[in-house]
Structure 1
């Protein structure tokens, strides 16, 4: 198998159903952002310590789900032989929400914004969160112009909440307190 196809040499790429589109097409931007996020999550896994290693299985599951999400975003949805696959086998939303709820129960409550950071793992999870937000914006742009699997957008929205909760949990596991933003008003009640 050759890695290079030379299709990209002219600024184009082939998506599912053999459609050829520009590399700056909204669809390519959306699934490319999911790919970037997936790589960032892979990096985050490398920062795990003995205390935060329990996050590895769920971060790897998120990577699997991101591949499914990227597949659906690359799929124009106009071919019955290639149906959307994200969310077909399980309910990733319920799973993410259960993780968020579990972490929120054990970390100290905050009522103000916190600064991204703390431990290396928490900082990486905050980067995951912000890359997720950018990815969400790219998906919203695509959704305004083409059919997408709407479950992907909802998952990505919830995923940024997960990364926030997981970052706080990682700091908690390492005994590192979150730092509140000094000019924040009370926002969480």
Structure 2
């Protein structure tokens, strides 16, 4: 199978649901940013040491969740292909909340804004957080488009909640990775 199809050479691409749209369509932007986030998470997971197998497994589960979210974003609300997709549910959000609580319980209290960076692994987590926020903005933008049918018709509300929670997870994970490395948070001094 060839990897290139030449079907996108004129600036259009196919959605999972079969429609062809411009490559700058809000739906393409939203799932493209989710895909970029998934790649950044892969780089973060690759940077972890062998002592972080539990975190790596957690990140791989998040990557799987994002693949499901991307599939929902790549299919229009009225398409039959949506019947085959795995939903992103409140249970996914609760799992992130539990992971956040677990990590945060191991950290010192935060009394200042944090500058991204510190240990390279933490820097990857901060990058994941910012890409996550951009993806969230595009999913919200998509949801507000007339052709999306709004949150109920497009079933994006839970995906937005998941991505919002995920950015919180990456913030706490960055703090955890800095703490674990003995680097500590890089605090903003106004």
Tell me the TM-score normalized by structure 1.
0.91
1:162 aligns with 2:169: yes
Q: How far did residue 91 of structure 1 move?
A: 1.3
Q: Show structure 1 runs of 4+ deviating over 6 A.
A: none
Counterpart in 2 of 1:151?
158
Find the counterpart in structure 2 of residue 186 from structure 1. none
**CA–CA separation in structure 1 for the residues paired with 2:122 and 2:29:** 27
* Aligned residues between the structures: 182
In structure 1, distance between residues paired with 2:108 and 2:82: 46
1:133 is aligned to 133
- Unmatched tracts of structure 1, length 5 or more: 184-189
Aligned to 2:88: 87
Q: Which residue of 1 aligns with 2:73?
A: 73
SS of the equivalent of 1:106 reads coil
Contact 2:17–2:81 under 8 Å retained in 1: no
What is the CA distance between 1:156 and its match in structure 2? 0.4
For residues 87 and 127 of structure 2, what CA distance do their matches in structure 1 show?
24
How much does 1:17 deviate? 2.2
Whole-angstrom distance in 1 between the partners of 2:65 and 2:189: 36
Listed as ranges, the gaps of 5+ residues in structure 2 are none
**Shift of the alpha carbon at 1:82?**
2.4
> Is the contact made by 1:41 and 1:59 (CA closer than 8 Å) also made in structure 2?
yes
Q: Aligned-residue CA RMSD in angstroms?
A: 1.5
1:47-104 CA-partner distances (Å, limit 9, x unpaired) = 112444431000000100010000000110212452352326x811010000001111
Q: State how 1:48-63 maps to structure 2 within 5 Å.
A: 48-63=48-63
